[in-house]
Amino acid sequence: MTIRNLTHLMAPKSVALIGASSRPGSVGLTVMRNLSAASFAGDISLVNPNHSEIEGRHCYGSVNDLPEPPE
């Protein structure tokens, strides 16, 4: 078995956080802050139809609105 295809899972160049949130204590806000605090070097695209921005970061209304597919 090859692990060649696991690279995208283990070391993605970009991620989409579906369900990003500005609500204190929410999973979406916690995950977003953890990705930022961990110095994730890739692009983090936030997705939530109820927000246009969260903590100063642009938020897309749906996955179809993303400029390119995340890894």
Would you give the DSSP letter of residue 22? -
Q: For the domain 19-71, what is the CATH superfamily, name and number?
A: NAD(P)-binding Rossmann-like Domain (3.40.50.720)
Q: How far apart are CA 31 and CA 41, in angstroms?
A: 15
Q: How far apart are CA 12 and CA 19, in angstroms?
A: 19
Task: State pLDDT tens for residues 7-23.
Answer: 777 778 899 999 999 99
Can you give the residue ranges of every domain in the chain?
19-71
Please check the confidence at residue 25 and state whether its pLDDT lies above 90. Answer: yes
pTM higher than the cut 0.85:
no
> In the chain, what is the straight-line distance between the N-terminal and C-terminal CA atoms, in Å?
21
